Structure 1
Amino acid sequence: MTMVRSLLLSSLLRLAVFVALFHQCVLAATTSSASTSAASTSAAATPVTSIFPVPSILTPYVWTAPQLSNSPVKGSFKVQSTTDWGEMQDFKSTWRVFRDGGGSCSISNRTLWVFNDAVAHSKSTGKFTGAAVNAMSIANTFSNISQLTDFTVAPSVGYFPAVPWSANEAQYANSLTSRYALWTFTNCVQLSSTSAAHFFLVNQFSSLTASRQYGNTMVLYNINEATGKITVTRPAQYAFRNTSYPYGSFANVVVNGYAYLYGLDRLYSTNYDVHLAQVATAYISNQAKYRYWNAATKAYETTLPVPTARRRTAAVIQSNIMFSTGTLFFSQYHNAYVLIYFSAYQDNTFRLVSSPTPLGPWNVTSVTLFKTTPGIGFNYGALAHPQYFQSKAGIAGKSVMLHYSYQDTVGTYIKGMSMTFA
């Protein structure tokens, strides 16, 4: 009964978001082909591109350079301390933006954030002002996790989706019951110092609250320091259709110039099995260059899997864990690849599994890190962001920034936390 009640509360909250987003959809339909001083968007065909001025707020970070195989695992997965930084928001803005899900992306010495279902209200009156199906922000500092600056949904800009619609999606923008939603629940894949790829799930609604996932789409970011702008490009409407696995939408890690892209088998295993694709970062937009890991044969295959049943033995992570969201990264502190995740969709608890390589073998004896306190309903959309504590003087992985979606009677918003291992 508790689960049903929680799901009902969540559905009602999201229904309010969907109704608000209808107004944004109408606005987007009238501005999507316009060019303004704040943003320009083209949705005439695929590929589609949006361009935004990006704030020059720098948060320098140091990326790890892991080897493919590391042993032995060291350190402790015991948590020494946690700090709750509260709601992540733009404190200087006159708007309070409610949002959920999302992920981070560190390029050009900036830490970008993309969130889902951004709904803005006036801080002074509480009145609804506008919304976007996804929105981009930037971290102000690593020393205060909660501080953001919004720049695609903001008073000086308006309400622009961070990710542009394809022509097919744009034609449904005015329909509350058949609109598309592009949502991400993962961090980006860093391609170079100024560019990255980010995977978003492509959903289409059939009623106010019911939607179907048709696959995922790849979004490319590129920051031009000379112009101070970020270009957001979708090479195609879909990267991987729902006839395969949504590679890159669950987790990713880059090792020696190769991106390891993890996708959940939602259709046949209900998110218990994790499948893996590998591609050189230089060819991430070329699906002909992708290879697909088969754990049963311990070899890569060049043919995209199109499963008709569960392929448990082919999965890179095989466990009794029902994953929902997570982040995979190399922890220097533990000399291991770690996956910090939420299990199922109303778990509220950060957990961890580890491996000496991106290919496994994964120690699927899950370590419970700590449990968050839910508001109403449950917490969801949890990710880890190790770059917040990866400095030249620090050891990557000892401390990690975390975020998750929190629901209360006011709305749904993002909470930020920091965690330090013993």
Structure 2
Amino acid sequence: MRQSTFITFLSVALATLSTASPMERRSPKPAAELLTDDPILPFTPHPYPTKPLEPREAPDFFPNEKLRKRGSVIGAGVSKGGSSGNFGSSNDYIASGKFTVPIKSGEQFSYKAASFYSAGGAEKAQSKWTVSKSSDHGKIKDDQKPWTVHRDVPCICPIGDRVFWFFDDTFVYKEDDTFVGAASNSFAVSRSSDSPSDVEEISITLEGKVTVVIPWTSEEKDIQYSSDRYAIWSYAPCIPIDDYHAAHQWTIVKFTNSSYSEILGYAMMEYEIDESTSEIAIKRNGMLTYDSGTYAYGSFASVLVNNKVYMYAVDPLSAKYDVHLAAAPRYSIYDSSTWSYYDASTSSWSQTAPDCSQRNKDSAVISGKVPFSTGSVFYSEYHQAYLMVFFSAWADSTFYAIAGDSPAGPWNTTAVKIAKTELGGNGYNYGGMATPLITGESEQGKKLVLSYTYQDTTSNWYGKTETIEFA
């Protein structure tokens, strides 16, 4: 239900915020529903502290912190000077950090990249959307730590047989609601495949110290609690590169004041696991800067096929209906000179980045019937097709899916509802993503892990996971 106080913000919300939602319990579920009209709902600001944080100190909050220009440049970008070089070469890193990784325990996950480009099963996939099982794993949390954690946009990241979760704004409280600390981002690791929501915190210690995961530059760090602070957020799953590495696109945001922000650019992070020391290194490459004439490839979704990464960007000039595609060799993803760009109007690739100062619907790899918000792309053995599973920009708290014969399509753009998430008191959920993790002998894609931000109230919001299994 719309609230009158949010009506003036509605147009901003649709243009700027990537929204999504939790699922209505239907177990087992009937055949997936085809698209129907859904209401458009507004969003609620999330608070953020405006001063250095001390234990037992309640933070001051930005009243309109979520009125940031999340989507102002999302869908527009290509590197104009990011770092070049392969994984393992740290010469161009502008910042880095290391964290101890918990020792693996329990049944582990499995994830594998597609080994061929053309799947050819998009039409047949349309008969395999019925969901037979659904399990709600609840809040993503560490039950072994005595903290209440509020944070949003859980970005899943499989590396080898581990599953990491990277989050945006993170707030930590004691059981008595005493404020402990906050960070622009945080991360954890799932303990086993039994429940993706059962995690061990990595950047939040037993003592309650909250460490930002994505390393600041010195300039950013010095003003992280002021009204003109920086923020580093992600809205997409990471890109598994191999058993020890992943890449992940993050958005660099600068606040002008407590209620206005702008996107400065993007940074492709490198994650590297060293099993001999049980450490994960977080390496930040040079910023990928963008202007109104390019797309922000990788800010929506990416998929690795053989040795090439396909990176998707949503065009904001299309009201988020169009998706554009670029590709890069997986070990030179940070070097934009190695990228190529797909033009669907000619079914061809080019080394020249397209101009997106105007909408280019014909060149989009997907021009959908549902506006895109956040999502994931992966190959499904079960469907014998590439799937795009996403939340729409309608704030309807629903996971949709479409199928394609290859990363470049053709894609069947008739969106199918595969999961409706349960609504909290704030009316909608957002940040939906999906991952085809394998457990046991199941085919990849038969079972999906769904993740999203659940909003109970404006001050109680957190990541949740569910698994669904197709019939």
Name the structure, 1 or 2, with higher relative contact order (CA <8 Å, separation 6+). Answer: 2
Contact conserved, 2:451 with 2:465, CA < 8 A, in 1? yes
Equivalent residue of 1:313, what SS? helix
Structure 2, gaps ≥5 residues long: 10-40, 58-91
Instruction: Measure how far apart 1:203 and its partner are.
Output: 1.7
Q: Is the aligned partner of 1:115 residue 2:134?
A: no
Deviations 1:340-389 (A, max 9, x none): 111105120111111111101110011111211211131000011211xx
> Structure 1 stretch 166-175 or stretch 412-421: which is displaced more?
166-175
1:143 alignment partner in structure 2: 194
Residue 372 of structure 1 is matched in structure 2 by 421
Structure having the higher helix fraction is 1
Judge conservation of contact 2:164–2:190 (CA < 8 Å) in 1.
Answer: yes
Q: 2:353 & 2:181 partners in 1: Cα distance?
A: 41
- Is 1:415 the equivalent of 2:467? no
State whether residues 131 and 153 of structure 1, in contact with CA within 8 Å, keep that contact through their aligned partners in structure 2: no
Secondary structure of the residue that 1:282 maps to in structure 2?
helix
Decide whether aligned partners of structure 1 residues 47 and 311 sit closer, same or farther in structure 2, where only a CA change above 3 A counts.
same
User: Structure 1 residues 233-242 or 244-253, which shifts more?
Assistant: 233-242
The corresponding residue for 1:23 is 52
| 8 Å CA contact 2:265, 2:287 repeated in 1 | no
Q: Secondary structure at the match of 2:185?
A: strand
Q: Secondary structure at the residue paired with 1:303?
A: coil
1:406 to 444, 447, 454: 454
Which residue number in structure 2 is paired with residue 189 of structure 1? Answer: 239
Asked if structure 1 preserves the Cα contact closer than 8 Å seen for 2:294 and 2:355, the reply is yes
Contact 2:181–2:208 under 8 Å retained in 1: no
Cα offset, 1:126, TM superposition: 1.4
Do 1:64 and 1:396's aligned partners in 2 also have CA atoms closer than 8 Å? no
Which amino acid is 1:191 matched to? I
Q: 1:208 aligns with which of 234, 253, 258?
A: 258
CA distance in 2, matches of 1:11, 1:331: 33
Please say if residues 308 and 327 of structure 2, whose CA atoms lie closer than 8 Å, have aligned partners that are also in contact.
Answer: yes
2:435 equivalent to 1:385: yes
Q: 1:199 aligns with which of 223, 236, 249?
A: 249
Which residue in 2 is equivalent to 1:103? 155
Change beyond 3 A, Cα 1:86–1:217: same
1:408 match: secondary structure: strand
Q: In 2 relative to 1, CA 369–22 (structure 1 residues): closer, same or farther, beyond 3 Å?
A: farther
SS in 2 for 1:2: coil
What residue is the counterpart of 2:288 in the other structure? Answer: 238
For residues 259 and 342 of structure 2, the distance between their equivalents in structure 1, rounded to whole angstroms, comes to: 35
Query: In the alignment, what sits opposite 2:27?
Result: none
For the pair 1:180 / 2:224, whether they are aligned, the reply is no
Give the TM-score taking structure 1 as reference length.
0.88
- Structure 1 pair 287–333 and aligned structure 2 pair: CA distance change class (3 A): same
Q: How many residues align?
A: 396
Bigger Cα displacement from structure 2, 51-60 vs 247-256: 51-60
**Aligned with residue 56 of structure 1, among 99, 103, 112:** 103
Deviation at 1:62, TM superposition (A): 3.9
Q: CA deviation at 1:171?
A: 4.3
C-alpha spacing 1:258/1:23, structure 2 compared with 1 (3 Å): same
Residue 139 (structure 2) pairs with residue 90 (structure 1): no
- C-alpha spacing 1:165/1:11, structure 2 compared with 1 (3 Å): farther
Deviation at 1:252, TM superposition (A): 0.8
| Whole-angstrom distance in 2 between the partners of 1:67 and 1:369 | 26
- Residue type matched to 2:2 in 1? T
Pick the structure with more strand per residue: 1
Match of 2:325 in 1: 276
Q: Note the alpha carbon deviations across 1:92-123, whole angstroms, 9 max, x for none.
A: 11112111103111114211110111100112
Q: Structure 1 pair 242/230, CA: closer, same or farther in 2 (3 Å)?
A: farther
Aligned to 1:325: 374
State the distance in 2 between where 1:100 and 1:345 align.
18
Change in 2 beyond 3 A, CA 1:114/1:62: closer
CA distance in structure 2 between the aligned counterparts of 1:386 and 1:22, rounded to whole angstroms: 40
Following the alignment from structure 1 to structure 2, what is the Cα–Cα distance between the partners of residues 307 and 71? 30
CA distance in 1, matches of 2:376, 2:248: 13
State the distance in 1 between where 2:120 and 2:321 align. Answer: 26
Alpha-carbon distance change, 172 to 265 in structure 1, aligned in 2, over 3 angstroms: farther
Please give the alpha-carbon distance, in whole angstroms, between the structure 1 residues aligned to 2:44 and 2:120.
Answer: 48
What is the match of residue 32 of structure 1? Answer: none
Residue 165 of structure 1 is aligned with which of 216, 220, 238? 216
The residue identity in structure 2 corresponding to 1:106 is P
- In structure 1, stretches of 5+ residues that fail to align are 28-44
2:130 is the alignment partner of 1:130: no
RMSD: 2.3
With the length of structure 2 as denominator, give the TM-score of the two structures: 0.79
Deviation at 1:23, TM superposition (A): 3.2
Q: Give the 3 Å change call, closer, same or farther, for CA 13–367 of structure 1 in structure 2.
A: same
Amino acid at match of 1:399: K
- AA at the equivalent of 2:433: L
Give the C-alpha shift of residue 258 in structure 1: 0.4
Return closer, same or farther for 1:213/1:24 CA change in 2, 3 Å cut-off: farther
Partner residue, 1:2: 2
Contact kept? 2:154, 2:463, Cα under 8 Å: no
Q: Quick check: 141-150 or 59-68, which moved more?
A: 59-68
The answer as to whether partners of 2:203 and 2:213 remain within 8 angstroms in 1 is yes
User: 3-state SS of the aligned residue for 1:308?
Assistant: coil
CA contact (8 A) 1:108 1:223 kept: no
User: CA separation of 1:11/1:420 partners in 2, compared to 1, >3 Å: closer, same or farther?
Assistant: closer
User: Once the two structures are superposed, what CA deviation does each residue of 1:174-225 show, in whole Å capped at 9, x if it has no partner?
Assistant: 422x211111121111112101100112222223233222332110000111
Q: Separation in 2 of the partners of 1:4 and 1:155?
A: 42
Cα deviation per residue 1:42-74 (whole Å; 9 max; x = unaligned)?
xxx951111111112352414143421112334
| Structure 1 position 258 matched with structure 2 position 308 | yes
Is the 8 Å Cα contact of residues 243 and 306 (structure 1) preserved in structure 2? yes
**Alignment partners' CA distance in 2, 1:12 and 1:70:** 41
**Cα distance in 2, alignment partners of residues 179 and 280 from structure 1:** 35
Moved more, 59-68 or 143-152: 59-68
Deviates more, 1:301-310 or 1:183-192: 301-310
